[in-house]
């Protein structure tokens, strides 16, 4: 569904009540892939059971933790996340996950991704597994808790990427 207009109403939804792993090492282990990329597009999808999701297209800048389903830098990757826009009669409604604002087109993010076998796609689900990249500095998105946020906040991307690679190499 392509809805370019701004929303007339914003509804907040709760997603992923599961807490993150208690350590950065645990979060890095749990992630199927860790990437840095720029958001280049979004498409909204309403499933038959009224589950709204956004398919976000990302141009990969860096692959920190590789996976067979992840491309190389410069290629595009599509990830899903809960929420998005839908039409409700004559108005546009945006559903946003509490504490995790939309991934805006043009912005860069460091994402800890999970592969969803059921939907056969990548999932970038919650704020505690996402950092915004402002220039070369990492910033939290939405709620500001969890090991990734605490460890990466206000760090240089290249320094934090090296730390993550070191954790992954120890496995």
> Measured between alpha carbons, how far is 161 from 15 in angstroms, rounded to an integer?
27
Please give the average per-residue pLDDT across 49-54, as a whole number.
72
Q: Are strands 84-88 and 137-140 parallel, antiparallel or unpaired?
A: unpaired
Q: Could you tell me if residue 38 is inside a domain?
A: yes
Structural domain count, the chain:
1
Highest mean pLDDT among 68-72, 127-131, 166-170: 68-72
Of 11 and 31, the one with more pLDDT: 31
- Give me 51's structure tokens: 């589950």
**CB-count burial class (<10 Å; 0-12, 13-18, 19+) for 95:** buried
Instruction: Report the pLDDT value the prediction gives residue 10, as an integer from 0 to 100.
Output: 67
pLDDT tens per residue, range 5-18? 677 666 665 555 45
pLDDT value at 143 more than 70: no
pLDDT tens per residue, range 75-101? 999 998 877 777 778 887 777 777 677
Instruction: Report the pLDDT value the prediction gives residue 24, as an integer from 0 to 100.
Output: 85
Can you give the residue range of the structural domain that contains 47? 9-169
Of 116 and 101, the one with more pLDDT: 116
Mean pLDDT of the chain: 83
Q: Could you tell me if residue 4 is inside a domain?
A: no
Alpha-carbon torsion (135, 139, 141, 146), positive or negative: positive
Q: Could you tell me if residue 102 is inside a domain?
A: yes
Q: Which of 167, 157, 166, 165 is nearest to 38 (CA)?
A: 157
Q: Tell me the CATH number at 68.
A: 2.40.50.120
Highest mean pLDDT among 10-19, 63-72, 149-158: 63-72
Q: Could you tell me if residue 1 is inside a domain?
A: no
> Measured between alpha carbons, how far is 34 from 110 in angstroms, rounded to an integer?
7
- Give the model's confidence band at 133: pLDDT under 50 very low, under 70 low, under 90 confident, else very high: very high
């Amino acid at each position: 569904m392509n809805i370019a207009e701004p929303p007339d109403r914003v509804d907040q939804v709760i997603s992923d009540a599961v807490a993150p792993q208690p350590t950065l090492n645990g979060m890095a282990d749990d992630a199927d892939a860790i990437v840095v990329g720029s958001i280049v597009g979004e498409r909204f999808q309403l499933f038959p059971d009224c589950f709204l999701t956004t398919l976000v297209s990302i141009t990969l800048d860096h692959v920190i933790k590789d996976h067979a389903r992840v491309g190389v830098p410069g290629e595009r990757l599509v990830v899903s996340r809960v929420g998005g826009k839908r039409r409700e009669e004559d108005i546009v409604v945006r559903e946003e996950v509490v504490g995790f604002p939309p991934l805006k087109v043009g912005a860069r993010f460091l994402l800890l991704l999970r592969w969803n076998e059921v939907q056969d796609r990548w999932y970038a689900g919650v704020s505690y597994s996402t950092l915004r990249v402002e220039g070369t500095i990492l910033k939290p998105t939405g709620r500001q808790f969890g090991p990734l946020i605490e460890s990466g906040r206000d760090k240089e991307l290249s320094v934090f990427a090296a730390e993550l690679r070191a954790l992954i190499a120890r496995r």
